Structure 1
Amino acid sequence: MQQKSNIAIGILFLITFVVVLRNPIELFPDSSGYLNMHIIRTPGYPLFLQFIQSIFGDNYQLGVVIFQILLGCFSIYYFIRKLRSSHILNEFFSVCFALVLLLPFLIGLRIANNMLTESISYSLYLILVAKFISFFISKNSKELYYSLPILALLLITRYQFVYLIPLALLMIFWISYQQKSIKKHAVLIVLFITLPLITSLIDKTYHKIIHGHFVSTPWTGMNMITAPFFVSDTEDEALFESPLEKEFFKKTHYSLIDKKMNINNLELSVYQSPTQFYIANFADITMGPIFKNGKEVLSNSLTKAERFIELNKMTNKMTMPLIWDNFSKWKRLYIQNAIHGFGGIKYVLLYFLIALCSLIALLKRDQKEYKILGLTSLLFIGNVLIVAIGMHAVIRFTFYNDWVLFLTIFVLLNSLNKKRYES
């Protein structure tokens, strides 16, 4: 039976490979930043593109697509093999789940055809989740040790996955509690806690070598300050003592007011709510008034890279005062942005209910199905909650866990089938 399912999965991979090669290669505004190793891009994907270019030369785009789909197929097979070895899915549901995991390559985002980080991030993420699940069920520490370099690669590609670190620590503490010993996992705990420092050092070293500046990728501040600027009031200028910060705030705030991009003077004829406006216009707000005015107020003597660095420092410093002074509006925007990322309030309730019920069930009975449901629901929740802080929670940032609900259904059906068979 397993041989037949492997053949079926292989056929799905072959069909996907052919479809991907027939689809056009897509370049986006962000793509040039990765191809040209821009300072505002994290090192993972630019280094990957440079590696492919060194092998394929002028045909590098085709090489990127081929590598991305091959890595995707490998990660999906690896994930399914881990689930089958833990007896989580039978052969039929394994094939069904393979198709679900392949959907981002076939429809919608078509991630393998894009010169963006999504394809590589998705593949690395699936491998990591497979190792997390394997550790949680088998309690084999090697799975988490082997996951560390993969997680480091993922973090220097897309830092949104930093939420995997507290989830890994949560699993370690849970297993340590069951085994009545935390010393056994002390090294793992230290490694996961220090991993952000290690990846930050890698990030800074990369920028020192490529751009001559030992700094973290200078773009976080721009994302973080977008929502606070969107909900800001004119009186917020008083929050800042620095003349440079005052000038930046004043110019940006009035630009947003003039373009009707501030929550206090929106025209909502097209959008249902301020949050929907924010989500639809996030990039225009960030790259429009905020970015343009930020560059304008900085000294002309700065190089392009130095402007990004100084702008990142300034926006990082200004973000928290703006949030605290407009906390009620910011909080409402954040919650509604997160709800959008979940797909609606029904799915918020569903995923939190799955997580809560699974964790309560685990306290009573150490059953692997509960572990899978609890962990994967927390993966979904963690990703949406962290994305909604600094970005608009659109599918490009949330699709990584679109398979969670399908896996939940397959695990429950598989468990029912086993019980029927045993009875």
Structure 2
Amino acid sequence: MSNKQFSYTFILIFVFTLIIILTSPLILYPDSDGYLDMSIIRSPSYPLFLSLLKLVFGSAETILTIIIQSLLGFYAIHYLIRQFRSHFSISNLWYVILTILLLAPYIYNHKLANSIMSEALAYPLYLIVVAKFTDALVIKKFKRIYFTLLLLAILILTRSQFLFLVPIGVLIAIYIAYTKSSYTTLAKSAIIFLILPFLTSILDKGYHKVKHGHYTSTPWTGIVLISGPMYVSDREDINLFTEDKERDLFQKAHEKLTNQCLNINCLKNKEDTNIILTYTDSYSEIANRTILPIASTILNNGLTRAETFIEVDRVTKNMYFPLLMDNFKEWFKLYLKNIKMGYGNSIYMLLTLILMIYSLWLAIKHKSKSGLVMGFLLSLILANIASVAIGIHTINRFTFYNNWIIFMVIFVLLPNFKHTHHQELNKTS
């Protein structure tokens, strides 16, 4: 496929995708109202994005929102493909296939452009950050990282799961410093990356102070963190807590989860039960429809809705560490199984890990640019899944951002898998 043919095909794919998007309706999910109403339990970036659309167009629930979310995604995909093409000379056909894979979330399953969900903003931001990190790795220039910091801050303020990009950014800075022997610049870069989580935390709290009157982080972390330890806890864990409200919350939540057989000790007594599948399939029942309402009822005490969420977050965070430490072995087993679930199955997990090791071997042994970048991309899959698995189920909604990577890696590494000799098939008479 020539470059001219690629350009025409590229445009045609985007036009065809846009037609499919525009002929589909706007989709509202149970979480959508929280973003539209700028609920205190929603991180600031996407609610502010929708608020801006509402200010400009009079409503965020219009065809214009679909168009803008489409254009954001199209630009991000175009930017990522352009960066890859500038660094890797693989067949244009592979780039056409990669473009289709990157566009898949817009026409299949997630339907990002048509959805009022934070993924609609997080996905394009993530792709641009990945493109800029890739560029920094190849060019080996710190300024390529600096330009990414603002986008990364917005991305983290859209979905906090992307905090894993901060240590990856530090590792990239270390690599560039090592190759350039520029350790003074490394110190500056590392400091900037390390203060980024604190900066985003201040911005998050500042947003809630202006919008909701409370200088607080988005109060949803505690519910996310405590769900896993609560799932593997036993009845005697009530003795870990001294405050009456904490003891009351644990007792009622544990009792209800046990009655629903959404506790590991109940599941162990039943045949043909899958502990990790039960957890992933029933996570919303455990966290949102059991622990949260029980905690809200116990801790309400005349508080406003926003104040109740803040108090629930504070108490569940306090309960998390003692509960985790007392059940760490069982929780860690659950965590590892949750990571495997994030890959889809153990075969795919093994494949990606083997390719990651092989890519990094190419980078170290042969100073391979392709190996370095492919190792980086594959590490994103592991880092994202491992980050999500700490507190929530690793369903496709939280992992689809990297679904395209394994294909990109194979397309780039294919030339490395060459036959050293050919053997004809035995002929039969």
Q: What band does the TM-score fall into relative to the shorter chain?
A: over 0.9
Are the aligned partners of 1:88 and 1:369 in contact in 2 as well (CA < 8 Å)? no
- What are the residue-to-residue correspondences of 1:304-315 with 2, within 5 Å? 304-315=305-316
Mapped to 1, the partners of 2:363 and 2:223 lie a distance apart of 41
The residue that corresponds to 2:252 in the other structure is 251
Q: Which amino acid aligns with 2:155?
A: L
The residue that corresponds to 1:387 in the other structure is 388
Deviation of the 1:59 alpha carbon: 6.4
Are the aligned partners of 2:34 and 2:42 in contact in 1 as well (CA < 8 Å)? yes
Deviation of the 1:311 alpha carbon: 0.5
Q: Which amino acid aligns with 2:49?
A: F
Deviation of the 1:340 alpha carbon: 0.6
Aligned length: 417
Are the aligned partners of 1:13 and 1:73 in contact in 2 as well (CA < 8 Å)? yes
Structure 1 range deviating more: 358-367 or 205-214: 358-367
- What are the residue-to-residue correspondences of 1:124-135 with 2, within 5 Å? 124-135=125-136
Are the aligned partners of 2:53 and 2:60 in contact in 1 as well (CA < 8 Å)? no
Mapped to 1, the partners of 2:286 and 2:60 lie a distance apart of 36
The residue that corresponds to 1:64 in the other structure is 65
Are the aligned partners of 2:363 and 2:370 in contact in 1 as well (CA < 8 Å)? no
Deviation of the 1:279 alpha carbon: 0.4
Greater helix fraction, Structure 1 or Structure 2: 1
The residue that corresponds to 1:332 in the other structure is 333
Mapped to 2, the partners of 1:53 and 1:327 lie a distance apart of 46
The residue that corresponds to 2:198 in the other structure is 197
Q: CA RMSD in A?
A: 1.7
Are the aligned partners of 1:83 and 1:89 in contact in 2 as well (CA < 8 Å)? no
The residue that corresponds to 2:370 in the other structure is 369
Structure 1 range deviating more: 282-291 or 257-266: 257-266
Mapped to 2, the partners of 1:99 and 1:416 lie a distance apart of 25
- What are the residue-to-residue correspondences of 1:227-376 with 2, within 5 Å? 227-266=228-267, 272-376=273-377
Unaligned runs of 5+ in 1: 418-423
Mapped to 1, the partners of 2:363 and 2:320 lie a distance apart of 40
TM-score by length of 1: 0.95
Q: Which amino acid aligns with 2:295?
A: G
Q: Which amino acid aligns with 1:285?
A: I
Q: Deviations over 1:216-269 (max 9, x none)?
A: 000011011011111110000000111111111111111111222211113998
Q: Which amino acid aligns with 2:63?
A: L
Unaligned runs of 5+ in 2: 419-429
Mapped to 2, the partners of 1:190 and 1:366 lie a distance apart of 28
Per the alignment, do residues 114 and 365 of structure 1 end up closer, same or farther by CA in structure 2, a change over 3 Å counting? same
Q: Which amino acid aligns with 1:143?
A: R
The residue that corresponds to 1:26 in the other structure is 27
* Moved beyond 4 Å, runs of 4+: 267-272, 414-417
Mapped to 1, the partners of 2:47 and 2:170 lie a distance apart of 30
The residue that corresponds to 1:397 in the other structure is 398
Per the alignment, do residues 271 and 292 of structure 1 end up closer, same or farther by CA in structure 2, a change over 3 Å counting? farther
The residue that corresponds to 2:182 in the other structure is 181
Deviation of the 1:415 alpha carbon: 6.4
Deviation of the 1:271 alpha carbon: 7.3
- What are the residue-to-residue correspondences of 1:10-159 with 2, within 5 Å? 10-58=11-59, 60-159=61-160
Q: Which amino acid aligns with 1:254?
A: E
Deviation of the 1:284 alpha carbon: 1.0
Mapped to 1, the partners of 2:90 and 2:164 lie a distance apart of 26
TM-score by length of 2: 0.94
Mapped to 1, the partners of 2:182 and 2:394 lie a distance apart of 39
Deviation of the 1:368 alpha carbon: 1.2
Mapped to 2, the partners of 1:268 and 1:60 lie a distance apart of 48
Q: Deviations over 1:11-69 (max 9, x none)?
A: 10101111011112111110000000000000010000001111221464322211111
Per the alignment, do residues 369 and 244 of structure 1 end up closer, same or farther by CA in structure 2, a change over 3 Å counting? same
Mapped to 1, the partners of 2:43 and 2:288 lie a distance apart of 18
SS, match of residue 390 in structure 1: coil
Are the aligned partners of 2:230 and 2:254 in contact in 1 as well (CA < 8 Å)? yes
The residue that corresponds to 1:4 in the other structure is 5
User: Identity over the aligned pairs, expressed in percent?
Assistant: 38
The residue that corresponds to 1:214 in the other structure is 215
Mapped to 1, the partners of 2:207 and 2:58 lie a distance apart of 23
Deviation of the 1:390 alpha carbon: 0.8
Mapped to 1, the partners of 2:269 and 2:259 lie a distance apart of 15
Mapped to 1, the partners of 2:244 and 2:60 lie a distance apart of 50
SS, match of residue 390 in structure 2: helix
Mapped to 1, the partners of 2:272 and 2:366 lie a distance apart of 47
Q: Deviations over 1:133-170 (max 9, x none)?
A: 11001112221111100001100000100001111111
Mapped to 1, the partners of 2:410 and 2:191 lie a distance apart of 35
SS, match of residue 62 in structure 2: helix
Q: Deviations over 1:296-345 (max 9, x none)?
A: 11142211111100100111111111111111211111111110101111
Q: Which amino acid aligns with 1:161?
A: F
Are the aligned partners of 1:90 and 1:414 in contact in 2 as well (CA < 8 Å)? no
Are the aligned partners of 2:361 and 2:371 in contact in 1 as well (CA < 8 Å)? no
Are the aligned partners of 1:93 and 1:414 in contact in 2 as well (CA < 8 Å)? no
Structure 1 range deviating more: 174-183 or 368-377: 174-183
Mapped to 1, the partners of 2:34 and 2:153 lie a distance apart of 21
Mapped to 2, the partners of 1:268 and 1:282 lie a distance apart of 20
Q: Which amino acid aligns with 1:333?
A: L
Q: Which amino acid aligns with 1:89?
A: I
Mapped to 2, the partners of 1:25 and 1:82 lie a distance apart of 31
The residue that corresponds to 2:422 in the other structure is none
The residue that corresponds to 1:409 in the other structure is 410
Deviation of the 1:75 alpha carbon: 0.4
